[in-house]
């Protein structure tokens, strides 16, 4: 084969690519090369049916089959969508008392959830029940800061998972709250709680450096913020770097908009939490473009 021809061809192609990338942002200002949608819930607490019509605070709000309609609508417009949950899917209605979480996990699987994490209420029927209910889950249960090696969840829970969506690799890891004092030891058994900040730093290194993930998302059941020194999503964001989004839970926090927190690298980590009981669906859209102009490195955050 003629080497010169090969180089010529290559140069032609690369100059074409170069040209298009210069022209591209000028012609289509509002178009992006890739668009990833992250949908999320937290603390659904077995609220499969909407609240009753006469409910004092949330009349006729929520409901799994309505949530599924919304998810389908969003996915129809952007199939490049991940569906995530930040724990406490269990406990709160007779659906849990009667079926132990089976229906919660089956419905999450049917709706197409990719991942959830372990909330403290997942332990309400004991850690062995979580292991038993996982047979109904077609999604990943992620946690990185519980050492589960001496429990029935050993091998069933992964610290992180990487999802490839449209060539964008999204690393997702899970963090759980300290169980001592919150959950009876009889229920969590030999689960060992590890420092969430240290674990998060390790996870980010694995996802960002080793696996070159384009996005890093933390599914956290630590809680949004506390008066005390207790570790929270806000503190986690401040004390780490390279986490793009923390999807939080536990404190049932309603936010007007996602919180922007300055992280260790001086960049923004977003935190979002959408109350509880499936009252809301959180939505975060990430837009990617080729060949940003030099110097224009700041990500525009519209919240």
Rounded Cα gap, residues 286 and 190, in angstroms:
39
* Binders in 53-72 for another protein, by CB under 8 A: 60-70, 72
Of 116, 153, 274, 276, the one binding another protein (CB under 8 A) is 274
Of the pair 199, 215, the CB lying nearest another protein is at: 215
Question: Which of 109-113's residues contact partners 24+ apart within 8 Å by CB, and which partners?
Answer: 109/136, 109/137, 109/138, 109/139, 110/68, 111/64, 111/67, 111/68, 111/71, 111/83, 112/71, 112/75, 112/83, 113/83, 113/84, 113/85, 113/139
Stretch that binds another protein, among 14-22, 128-136, 141-149, 234-242 (CB under 8 A): 14-22
Q: How far apart are CA 80 and CA 200, in angstroms?
A: 26
- The encoded tokens of residue 47 equal 């609220």
C-beta of 261: minimal distance to another protein in Å?
13
Is residue 212 helix, strand or coil? coil
Closest to another protein by CB, 69 vs 150, is 69
Work out the number of other CB atoms within 10 angstroms of the CB of residue 54.
7
Which of 115/284 has CB closer to another protein?
284
CA-nearest of 145, 247, 260 to 196 is: 145
Please select the residue that binds another protein; options are 45, 84, 88, 95, rule is CB under 8 A: 95
Report 112-151 residues binding another protein (CB under 8 A): 124
Pick the piece of the chain touching another protein (CB under 8 A) from 12-20, 80-88, 144-152, 193-201: 12-20
Find the part of the chain contacting another protein (CB under 8 A) among 45-53, 140-148, 191-199, 221-229. 45-53
* Among residues 22, 55, 110, 190, the one that binds another protein under rule CB under 8 A: 110
172 near another protein, judged by CB under 8 A: no
- Select the residue interacting with another protein from 23, 52, 154, 167 (CB under 8 A): 167
- Dihedral over alpha carbons 113, 119, 124, 128 (to 10 degrees): 70
Q: Which of 33, 128, 202, 238 binds another protein (CB under 8 A)?
A: 33
Please identify, among the stretches 76-84, 142-150, 192-200, 274-282, the one whose residues bind another protein according to the rule CB under 8 A. Answer: 274-282
Which one of the spans 103-111, 134-142, 197-205, 225-233 is the region binding another protein (CB under 8 A)? 103-111
Residue 31 found at the interface with another protein (CB under 8 A): no
Burial of 45 (0-12, 13-18, 19+ CB in 10 A): buried
Backbone φ, ψ for residue 220 (5° rounding): -115, 135
Q: Which two tokens stand for residue 14?
A: 């690369």
Torsion, Cα 91 89 145 82, to 10 degrees, reads 180
- Tell the smallest beta-carbon distance from residue 154 to another protein (Å): 26
Q: Of how many residues is the chain composed?
A: 303
Among 9, 149, 150, 192, binds another protein (CB under 8 A): 9
Pick between residue 118 and residue 144 the one whose CB is nearest to another protein. 118
Interface residue with another protein among 85, 88, 214, 242 (CB under 8 A) is 214
């Amino acid at each position: 084969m003629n080497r010169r021809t090969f180089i010529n061809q290559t140069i032609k192609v690369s100059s074409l690519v170069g040209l298009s990338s210069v022209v591209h942002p000028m012609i289509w200002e509002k178009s992006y090369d890739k668009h990833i949608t992250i949908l999320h819930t937290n603390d659904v607490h077995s609220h499969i049916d909407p609240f009753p019509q006469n409910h004092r605070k949330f009349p006729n709000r929520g409901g799994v089959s309505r949530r599924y309609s919304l998810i389908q609508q969003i996915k129809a417009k952007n199939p490049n969508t991940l569906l995530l949950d930040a724990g406490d899917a269990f406990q709160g209605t007779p659906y849990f008392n009667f079926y132990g979480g089976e229906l919660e996990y089956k419905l999450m699987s049917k709706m197409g959830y990719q991942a959830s994490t372990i909330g403290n209420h997942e332990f309400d029927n004991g850690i062995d029940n979580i292991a038993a209910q996982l047979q109904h889950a077609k999604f990943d249960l992620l946690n990185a800061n519980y050492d589960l090696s001496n429990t029935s969840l050993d091998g069933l829970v992964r610290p992180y998972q990487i999802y490839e969506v449209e060539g964008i690799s999204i690393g997702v890891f899970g963090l759980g709250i300290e169980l001592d004092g919150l959950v009876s030891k009889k229920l969590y058994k030999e689960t060992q709680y590890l420092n969430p900040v240290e674990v998060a730093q390790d996870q980010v290194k694995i996802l960002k450096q080793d696996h070159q993930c384009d996005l890093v998302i933390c599914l956290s059941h630590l809680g949004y913020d506390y008066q005390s020194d207790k570790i929270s999503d806000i503190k986690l964001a401040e004390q780490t770097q390279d986490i793009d989004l923390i999807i939080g839970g536990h404190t049932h926090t309603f936010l007007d908009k996602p919180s922007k927190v300055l992280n260790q690298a001086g960049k923004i980590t977003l935190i979002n939490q959408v109350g509880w009981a499936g009252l809301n669906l959180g939505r975060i859209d990430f837009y990617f473009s080729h060949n940003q102009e030099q110097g224009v490195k700041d990500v525009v955050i519209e919240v």
